Structure formats: C-alpha cells, structure tokens
C-alpha cells in the first residue's frame, strides 16, 4: 500500500519541525547563553591544537610536530581530509590485546612547547602519553587568576598542594601565579620530569617542595602534623600503586580521600580542584562529592563540568574529561 502525504499533513509536519527547532534553540540559550561555551575549554594554546578527529583517533599539533593518538571519545567516522593525517611525525597504534606501541616517522626523542609563560618538555612514552594533558590549561587559567588576586589582595603566601601531580603542569602554573606549591606523586620519574618543567619555565628557585610519596599516606601525615593548605589540586588515576605497593582504586578510594583532604584545608581556603578521566565519574558525581564534603565546612561555591579542546578543522569541542571547582567566593 502506498501512502501519499496530503498538502495539509506536509504543512503540519513543517510547522511542527519549525516549532521543535525553535524550542531546541531556546533550550540551548537557557543552558548556554550566547557567547558562552558549553564546557570548560582550553582555547588559549598557541603551541598545541587538535587539528581533526575521526575513527577513534585525534590528529594533534604539538609545536612543530604532528601526532596521531587514540581517543575513546572519538566514536564517529568522518572523512580524514586534513593533510596532516598523511604527514604525521608519529602514530600511536592501540593493540587489540591491550596497550599499544608508537610508530615513529620523524620525531625527536624530546622537544618542548609553551603555554603563555610556561614551558613543558615532551617525549612519547607508554600508553600514548607525551607527558602533558593540554586540556588542563582551562583549569590552570582558572586557579592562576584566583591565586594572583589573593596574593595581590591580601599579600599572604598561598600554599597549594598538588596531589597525583604527574609532570607538574598544575604545579608550575600555580608557582608562576605566585603560590608556594607542594608537589606529590608516587613516581620518582614523574617528579624528576616535573622539576625539569619547572626549571624550563624559569621556576628552578621557586618555592616548590618535591615529594615522591603515596598521596593518601602523605595527607594522613599532614593531618597528624596539623599542616594546612590554602588550595588543593588533585588528578587521581583510575587505578594506581604507591611507591611501596599501596593500591589505589578510584571508585573505592576517592570519596574517603576527599574527606581526608578537607581536614588539611585552611580556614581561609581559596580553592579545591578535582579532575577525572575515569568513565563513570561524570561532572555531577564530582559535584555531589565536593558539595557533600567541602561546601558544608567551608561555604563557597562548587561547579562541575566537562573540560575539552577545540577541534580546529570544524570548530567543535572534543570532550576530554571532567572537573569540579570549588572556591570560597
């Protein structure tokens, strides 16, 4: 049987679609006012950009070099028309058995890129990494502004604790803004790398304390010592081991750890930041934990959202994780 739309039904359908489109536009304006981004976006880079993304991979420019790396968020399969796909300097291939390996074409063992006044030393290593998560620049800008305003307004030294601190992106950003920083990571190699980034950024003599330690045990000792910090940054892994084999599983450990960290925040705490790349720890989950633990004790305001990187080939935003930011005003 063949159905033929009447002129009236076509008109009704067209009007319905127009109405639906208008409602979607209105809802979009409610949740993302004109000119406001829908997530926290690291869009101030000069030396880094996502050029394109397709079929489980992203094409990135790290300074003068093009890398192709896997990305689980890229579930779409669009045409790879950007010429950089064929001019890559290195390509990380995932293995069906887990892990993967780099394929190198023309890439130095190490090189550097800059973000504003910061310098980061890069090198390709295990599981696709380069030693930097560029999307975190969105958070660096946020807390750097808070630190600068606090130092300028009160003249006091802002003490920042950076936990699971990796190669020190947040550490050098906070130090450059004028804070004294305690950098804690369980990997001696990562702490050494972070020191190199600090030196490259002109912060070799900055007030940074470098510690190779289990983050949970360190915070427990700080509680016993009565030490406090004006700000805490944490970027916990999904799973990890401390320097003495301590086990960390984020689903079991993160909420008790936030509670511990609340005990070492100063009474005039400036901010608290938690990042997550773990599937399941969405912005609402991070927000719930922070608003349950931090806000009742210190007041202030907590907000959570996705963090992302702009894709230059199409103007869209590639989501890269989630974060919750708390600040005291």
User: What confidence category does residue 3 fall into, taking pLDDT thresholds of 50, 70 and 90?
Assistant: very low
User: What are the boundaries of each domain within the chain?
Assistant: 1-36, 40-109, 134-327
The values of phi and psi at residue 113, to 5°, are -130, 165
d(CA 134, CA 89): 19
22-47 pLDDT, tens digit each: 443 433 333 344 444 569 999 999 99
Can you spell out the DSSP letters for 14-64?
HHHHHHHHHHHHHHHHHHS-TT--SSEE----SSEEEEEEETTEEEEEETT
For strands 90-94 and 65-70, give the pairing: parallel
Q: Give Cβ neighbours of residue 91 (< 8 Å, ≥ 6 apart).
A: 67, 68, 102, 103, 105
Residue 37 confidence (pLDDT): 53
User: What confidence category does residue 65 fall into, taking pLDDT thresholds of 50, 70 and 90?
Assistant: very high
If 0-12 CB within 10 Å is exposed, 13-18 middle and 19+ buried, where does residue 237 land?
Answer: middle
Residue 231 confidence (pLDDT): 98
Helices 188-200 + 169-177 axis angle, to 10: 40
User: What confidence category does residue 244 fall into, taking pLDDT thresholds of 50, 70 and 90?
Assistant: confident
Can you spell out the DSSP letters for 152-205?
HHH-PPPEEEEES-TT-HHHHHHHHHT-EEEEEES-HHHHHHHHHHHHHTT-TT
* Token digits of residue 73: 């968020």
- Of the listed ranges 16-25, 280-289, 292-301, the least confidently predicted one is 16-25
User: What confidence category does residue 251 fall into, taking pLDDT thresholds of 50, 70 and 90?
Assistant: confident
Q: What is the mean pLDDT of residues 147-151?
A: 96
Residue 257 confidence (pLDDT): 97
Percent of the chain past pLDDT 70, that is, above it, reads 88
Q: Which helix (H) or strand (E) holds 261?
A: helix 250-262
How many CA atoms lie within 13 Å of 40's alpha carbon, on the beta-carbon side?
A: 23
What class does CATH assign to 134-327? alpha beta
Query: Would the pLDDT of 10 be above 80?
Result: no
The larger pLDDT score, comparing residue 170 to residue 24, is at: 170
Residue 33 confidence (pLDDT): 47
Burial 38-62 (b: 16+ CB within 10 A, else e): ebbbbeebeebbbbbbbeebbbbbb
Q: Which of 286, 287, 276 minimizes the C-alpha distance to 239?
A: 276
The CATH architecture that domain 40-109 belongs to is: Sandwich (2.60)
d(CA 172, CA 206): 9
Do residues 248 and 283 make contact, with C-beta atoms less than 8 angstroms apart?
no
For strands 57-62 and 48-54, give the pairing: antiparallel
- Cα dihedral sign for 258, 211, 207, 62? negative
Percent of the chain past pLDDT 90, that is, above it, reads 78
What is the chain's mean pLDDT, rounded? 89
Q: Which of 290, 312, 309 minimizes the C-alpha distance to 299?
A: 290
Query: Would the pLDDT of 99 be above 90?
Result: no
Q: Which of 85, 125, 128 minimizes the C-alpha distance to 109?
A: 125
Identical fold at 40-109 and 134-327?
Answer: no
Q: What is the mean pLDDT of residues 289-297?
A: 98
The larger pLDDT score, comparing residue 253 to residue 103, is at: 103
């Amino acid at each position: 049987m063949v159905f033929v739309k009447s002129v009236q039904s076509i008109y009704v359908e067209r009007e319905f679609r127009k109405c639906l489109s208008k409602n979607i536009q209105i809802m979009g304006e409610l949740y993302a006012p004109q000119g406001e981004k829908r997530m926290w976006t690291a869009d101030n880079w000069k030396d880094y950009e996502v050029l394109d993304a397709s079929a489980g991979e992203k094409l990135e420019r790290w300074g003068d070099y093009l890398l192709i790396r896997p990305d689980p968020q890229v579930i779409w399969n669009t045409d790879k028309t950007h010429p950089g796909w064929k001019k890559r300097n290195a390509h990380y291939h995932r293995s069906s058995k887990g892990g993967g390996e780099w394929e190198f074409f023309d890439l130095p063992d190490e090189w550097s890129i800059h973000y504003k006044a910061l310098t980061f030393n890069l090198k390709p290593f295990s599981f696709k990494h380069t030693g930097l998560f560029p999307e975190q620049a969105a958070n660096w800008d946020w807390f750097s502004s808070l630190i600068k305003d606090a130092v300028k307004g009160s003249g006091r030294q802002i003490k920042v604790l950076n936990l699971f601190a990796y190669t020190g992106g947040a550490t050098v950003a906070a130090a450059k803004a004028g804070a004294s920083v305690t950098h804690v990571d369980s990997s001696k190699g990562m702490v050494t790398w972070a020191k190199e980034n600090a030196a490259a950024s002109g912060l070799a003599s900055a007030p940074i304390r470098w510690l190779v330690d289990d983050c949970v045990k360190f915070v427990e000792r700080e509680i016993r010592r009565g030490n406090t910090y004006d700000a805490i940054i944490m970027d916990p892994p999904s799973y990890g081991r401390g320097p003495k084999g301590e086990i960390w599983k984020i689903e079991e450990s993160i909420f008790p750890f936030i509670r511990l960290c609340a005990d070492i925040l100063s009474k005039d705490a400036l901010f608290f930041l938690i990042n997550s790349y773990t599937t399941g720890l969405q912005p609402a989950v991070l927000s719930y934990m922070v608003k349950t633990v931090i806000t009742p004790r210190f007041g202030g305001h907590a907000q959570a959202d996705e963090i992302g990187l702009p894709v230059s080939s199409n103007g869209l935003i590639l989501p890269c994780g989630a974060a919750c930011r708390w600040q005291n005003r």
